[in-house]
Chain A
Amino acid sequence: MIRIEPRNTSSRAYAVGIPVLSACLALALAAIPLLLAGANPITAYGEMIKGVFGSVFAISEMLTRATPLIFTGLAAALAFRAKLWNIGAEGQLYLGAMAAVAIGSGVLDLPGLALIPLIIILGAAAGAAGMAVPTFLKTRFGADEVVTTLLLNFVILIFLQMMLEGPLQDPMGLGWPQSAPVLDQGMLPPLMERMRVHSGLIIALIAAGIAQFMLARSVWGFKLRAVGENAAAARHAGINVKRSLFGVAIISGGLAGLAGVSEVAGLKGYLTADLSPGFGYTGIVVAMLAGLSPAGVVIAALFIASVFVGADSMSRAMGVSSFLADLVVSMSLLCVLVGGFVAKYRIIRTNRGQATS
């Protein structure tokens, strides 16, 4: 007979060890479909590692992919800490991107030192507004934000398509549904010559650092944690729960908006409706893998970006499907969730009870 009992302590070693073990386990499990696809897993993983760390270019690609994931991961992690379930980072990302091209593609011909901060601020504000609406509906009418934020993603995507074939469409774009490019001086500077990695990464890392510090050390973070862990006690103690939720909603939406700004103004230069291959949703995975810790988000985003970039290059080298990347990411999430359970509970084997009557 097997019994499950809560553990008395859950140590720091578990908090770090479980995600790492889960990631390794996910890679081990992904070896099975690799074998089925006729590839030698060891060579395949070798190719994968080479594709991520094998050259400066590979590292640059991985960091480029990690940048939006850090933003959306932080957006999810902070909101989830307050038990505000923001599933709408994908839509907020596009709102941020729309604001960036709306302001950065020629309406204002400012010098870069003025234009870049303006793009960043307005992009973040657009994302924040995208999260403020469902939060208002939640605090005022009790509308479930899981539903509203999720559905708003589709509303925003359709709105984006409308804009790309209307006011935001590039007049020089031969009728393609794409925006005019962001002015050269409005682009976030690249970090390395001839590489795609750009200074959006630096902004993402600074944001993660600030989030980590504020969560642990500020009154704002204290209130956010209290509201998330026990809203009734927070309210009883005199914390304004609605204000805390609005605060974190604005920060969360703003970070998701920054993901859009950083993709448009750091990487692509112009906006299309396929700017994000689901960075908003992957951000939720990143946040869960990170145990909702901002510092953990950076590590989890790097891990997931490595898996995606590595799997791409592996599939090219080995001729197997690049969907294996999705498989590894999904399995690491499942492993982490199971691992989280193992960290909290222990499974005990007991002998069956004594003689029966």
Chain B
Amino acid sequence: MSDIVLRLNGLSKQFGTVIANRNVSLTLKRGEVLALLGENGAGKTTLMNMLFGHYLPDAGSIEVAGPDGTLRPLTLGHPQAALSAGVGMVHQHFTLAENINALDNITLGSEPLFSLRRNRKAAQAKVDAIIATSGLAAPMTTPVGRLSVGERQRVEILKALYRDARILVLDEPTAVLTPQEADTLFANIKAMTQDGLSVIFISHKLREVLAFSDRIAVLRHGEKVGEIPTDQADEATIARMMVGADTPKPQRAAMTPGAPVLRLSQLSVAGRSKRDSLHKVDLNLRAHEILGVAGISGNGQSALASVVSGLAQPSAGQIDVDGMPLSNPTPAGMVAAGVGRIPEDRHHEGIVGAMSVAENLVIERLDDPAIQARGLLRRDAISAHADQLAQDYDVRGPGVTAPARLLSGGNIQKLILARVFERGPRLILANQPTRGLDMGAAAEVGRRLLEARARGAGVLLISEDLDEILSLADRIVVIRDGHLIDAGDPDRARIGLMMAGEAA
């Protein structure tokens, strides 16, 4: 009986002219945790989608060990084949039906379609047995919509295990979890690997990769560039493998904070749900200062961001920008008051994808006489402006006249940075500014924010990535249930507990 449970042989996949994967081979051993690392667009998700049958490889083959341990070729391009071969996948975005309970979600799809009776008892017994060995507890009778994110993720994993998965693929499993929840997840995974489960997990977070994997494989530009046992790896080595060069850590010089640029006094926002409301929040941000707002998503970050961008009206309280009270904030009013806004969802709120890069660069300053004369666009000025900014901010792509949606995620963010920073804003709202960006682009965002701080701007940095906040922010507040709590000393473990609401 061989020890190898999965072998990918020279997988390649091309989308049009873009090579997503080239000749990638990997093996996975029984009971092993393999971390798959790489920058955004390195081809991690494509590779896993080929394994799971969502994509058909252009070349290469996959072998999966059967229950007896012998490797058999897998029918490619069929998720059903992957499922029956014992491959389970948990996507970054959950695929659960929110209106039915966890047990029904788990059994959904593995029951015969035309059957009048369901054997709930047997299903419950099987799920109970899996919970007992794995430690993945979740309420089985509550509708999934009312479960926490961590619980939903456990339901997703239980769903895969219920289908007798022997190989589990987790796509960025900790992106939505608190540090403590993530630790619990990995403890559960460790327990399951004792029983012979093999796990591949995709992650951006070097810390957890180093802490919890047995082996690390790194992809770059669609090719496997390295593979090392975790006990021989450290952060610097892996980072170098991922980007092909050392990324400099942001240098943060000490600075004395200046005049207040943003003051929120007893500010409340009545959102549609508790998740996007704020309750009597006080906040004071000064020039030469980066204030980090840490928290798990859905605790009022979007309400805070909306009110500072001018999209939401406060229901009570007061906002002062740069010492001036704003009675009726609008997006245009905020831009005029010198607020630079980097939105959370750059595709949905940051750019109009169908319009050109040049047009997206001027969309916030359509009233400017440099951009228009008597209601008509000054097209030469707009394209010269775009060429200049694209060069200054290194926005790469098919050119400034091409639709902005053709840019990569990192270049879209650079476009937004160019639009925000060229106006020298006094206050910068950066909401999840590096989410989904590769390390190079993320480092660029950090550098620009520190540059703005040095110039005298105040930066309100909202992020779910605690490491990012710890490396950039001068002060940290934790947002929880619509309240802001001063975090005091930047201590990772304590802030994590505050995010989870276990200490105040």
- Chain B 70-107, CB within 8 Å of chain A: the 1/0 string? 00111111100100010000000000000000000000
A3 touches B56 (CB 8 A): yes
A218–B371 alpha-carbon span in the complex (Å): 11
CB-CB under 8 A from B311, the residues of chain A are: 235-236
What's the least CB distance linking A284 to chain B, in Å? 21
Q: Are A357 and B85 in contact (CB under 8 A)?
A: yes
Known: A8-B16, A233-B349, A233-B350. A353 touches B363 (CB 8 A): no
A219 in contact with B366 (CB, 8 Å): yes
B398: nearest chain-A partner, CB-CB: A9
> A191-220 interface mask toward B, CB cutoff 8 Å, 1 = contact, 0 = none?
000000000000000000000000001111
Report the minimal beta-carbon distance from A345 to chain B, rounded to whole angstroms: 11
Query: Is A237 close to B, CB under 8 A?
Result: yes
B276 touches A (CB below 8 Å): no
Which residues of A sit under 8 angstroms from B61, Cβ to Cβ?
A: 354
**Least Cβ distance of B19 to chain A in Å?**
13
Chain A residues near B372 (CB, 8 Å)? Answer: 219
Closest CB in chain B relative to A26 CB, distance in Å: 28
Q: Is residue A230 within 8 Å, beta carbon to beta carbon, of the partner chain?
A: yes
Residue B17 interfacial (CB < 8 Å): yes
**Interface-side segment among B118-126, B214-222, B373-381, B462-470:** B373-381
CB of A145 to closest CB in B, whole Å: 21
- Whether B359 is near chain A, meaning CB under 8 Å from some CB there, is yes
Task: Point out the residues of chain B lying under 8 angstroms from A232, CB to CB.
Answer: 348-349
- A55 on the B face (CB < 8 A): no
Are A237 and B363 in contact, with the CB atoms below 8 A? yes
A222, B359: Cβ atoms closer than 8 Å: yes
Is the CB of B330 closer than 8 A to any CB of chain A?
A: yes
**With the chains together, A60 CA to B66 CA distance in Å?**
77
Name the residue of chain A whose CB is nearest to the CB of B61. Answer: A354
Q: Is A175 in the interface zone, CB < 8 Å from B?
A: no
Query: Measured between alpha carbons, how far is A125 from B332 in the docked complex, in Å?
Result: 30
B355: Cβ under 8 A from any A Cβ: yes
Q: How far is the CB of B128 from chain A (nearest CB, A)?
A: 31
Chain B residue numbers with a CB within 8 Å of A220 are: 375
Chain A residues with CB below 8 A from B349, complex form: 232-233, 236
Look across to chain A and name the residue whose beta carbon is closest to the beta carbon of B309.
Answer: A236
Digit string of A1-21 for contact with B (CB within 8 Å is 1, else 0)? 101010110000000000000
A contact residues around B310 at 8 Å (CB)? 238
Interface contact A230-B375, CB-CB below 8 Å: no
Annotate A227-249 by CB proximity to B: 1 below 8 A, 0 otherwise. Answer: 00110111111111000000000
* Contact A219–B375 (Cβ < 8 Å): yes
Contact B364 A238 (CB under 8 A): yes
Cα distance A7–B17 when bound, in Å? 10
In the docked arrangement, what's the CA distance between A355 and B61, Å? 10
Question: Shortest Cβ distance from A352 into chain B, in angstroms?
Answer: 8
Q: Mark B323-349, 1 if CB is under 8 A from A, else 0.
A: 000000011101100000101000011
Most buried by B among A222, A239, A240: A222
**Interface membership of chain A positions 143-180, coded 1 if the CB is closer than 8 angstroms to chain B and 0 otherwise:** 00000000000000000000000000000000000000
Interface residue? B191 (CB, 8 A): no
CB pair A218 B355 closer than 8 Å: no
A247 nearest CB across to chain B (Å): 12
Which residues of B sit under 8 angstroms from A234, Cβ to Cβ?
352, 363
Once A and B bind, how many residue pairs between them come within 8 Å at the CB atom? 96
The interface residues of chain A lying within 8 Å CB-to-CB of B364 are 237-238
Q: Contact between B330 and A353 (Cβ–Cβ < 8 Å)? A: no
A82 to chain B, nearest CB (A): 12
Tell me if B351 counts as interface (CB < 8 A to partner A). Answer: yes
A residues near B76, Cβ cutoff 8 Å: 353-354
Assess the A5–B15 pair: CB atoms within 8 A: yes
Say if the beta carbon of B225 comes within 8 Å of chain A.
Answer: no
- The answer to the question of B187 belonging to the interface, with a C-beta cut-off of 8 Å to chain A, is no
CB-defined contacts of B15 to chain A, threshold 8 Å: 5
B211 at interface by CB-CB < 8 Å: no
Closest CB in chain B relative to A216 CB, distance in Å: 8
Would you call B309 and A353 a contact (CB within 8 A)?
no
Tell me, rounded to whole Å, the shortest Cβ–Cβ distance linking A343 to chain B. Answer: 15
Among residues of A, the one whose C-beta sits closest to the C-beta of B363 is A237
A218 to B331, CA, bound (A): 21
Contacting residues, chain B, for A1 (C-beta < 8 A): 56, 77
> A218, B352: Cβ atoms under 8 Å?
no
- A124–B56 Cα distance when bound, in Å, is 56
| CB < 8 Å neighbour of B354 from A222, A230, A235 | A230
Are B56 and A353 within 8 A (Cβ)?
yes
User: Quick check: B77 and A236 within 8 Å, CB to CB?
Assistant: no
CB-nearest residue of chain A to B364:
A237
Counting CB contacts under 8 A, is B353 at the interface? yes
A110 to chain B, nearest CB (A): 32
Is A225 interfacial (CB-CB < 8 Å)? yes
Measured between beta carbons, the chain A residues less than 8 angstroms from B330 are 238
Cα–Cα distance between A3 and B14 once the two chains are bound (Å): 14
Chain A residues in 8 Å Cβ range of B74:
357
Question: In A1-53, which residues have CB < 8 Å from any B CB?
Answer: 1, 3, 5, 7-8
Q: Contacts of B379 on A, CB cut-off 8 Å?
A: 217
Q: Which of B72, B309, B350, B363 contacts A226 (CB 8 A)?
A: B363
Residues of B within 8 Å of A229, CB to CB, are 352-355
Q: Roughly how many angstroms separate A8 CA and B15 CA in the complex, as a whole number? A: 9
Contacting pair A219 B75 (CB below 8 A)? no
Which residues of chain B are within 8 angstroms of A233 by Cβ–Cβ distance? 348-352, 363
Structural contact, B56 and A350, CB atoms closer than 8 A: yes
Contact in complex: B73, A357 (CB < 8 Å): yes
Answer whether A240 and B332 are a contact pair too, CB < 8 Å, given A230-B348, A230-B351, A353-B77.
yes
Inter-chain contacts of B353 with A (CB < 8 A)? 229-230
Min Cβ gap B55→A in Å is: 9
Question: 8 Å CB contacts to A: which residues of B5-27?
Answer: 15-18
Give bound CA distance, A351 to B484, whole Å: 57
Partner of B355, one of A7, A226, A356: A226
Task: Indicate if A223 sits at the interface (CB-CB under 8 A).
Answer: yes
> Could you say which residues of chain A place their CB within 8 Å of the CB of B18?
8
Contacts of A355 in B (CB 8 A): 73
> Do A238 and B351 form a contact, CB below 8 Å, given A219-B372, A219-B377, A353-B78?
no
B15 to chain A, nearest CB (A): 7
In the complex, what's the smallest C-beta–C-beta distance from A142 to chain B, in angstroms? 14
CA distance A354 to B50 in the complex (A): 13
When the two chains form their complex, are residues A218 and B377 in contact, meaning their CB atoms are under 8 A apart?
yes
Across-interface contacts of A3 in B (CB, < 8 A): 56
Say whether B355 contacts A225, CB under 8 Å.
Answer: yes
A220 vs B377: C-alpha distance when bound (angstroms): 9
Chain B residues positioned under 8 Å from A217 (CB to CB): 376-377, 379
Residue numbers in A under 8 Å from B17 (CB-CB): 8
Whole-angstrom CA separation of A235 from B350 in the bound complex: 10
Closest chain-B Cβ to A155's Cβ sits at a distance in Å of: 34
Closest chain-A Cβ to B420's Cβ sits at a distance in Å of 11
Listed A/B pairs (25) with beta-carbon separation below 8 Å: A5-B15, A5-B16, A217-B376, A218-B375, A218-B377, A222-B359, A222-B377, A225-B354, A226-B363, A229-B352, A233-B348, A233-B350, A233-B351, A234-B352, A236-B309, A236-B341, A236-B350, A238-B332, A350-B56, A353-B56, A353-B76, A354-B75, A355-B73, A356-B81, A357-B73
| Known contacts A8-B17, A219-B376, then 17 further A-B pairs from the complex at CB < 8 Å, ordered by chain A residue | A1-B77, A217-B376, A219-B375, A220-B375, A229-B353, A230-B351, A233-B349, A233-B350, A234-B352, A235-B331, A236-B331, A237-B335, A239-B332, A353-B78, A354-B61, A356-B75, A357-B74
> 7 closest A-B pairs (Cβ-Cβ)?
A238-B332, A353-B76, A8-B16, A229-B354, A238-B331, A237-B363, A230-B352
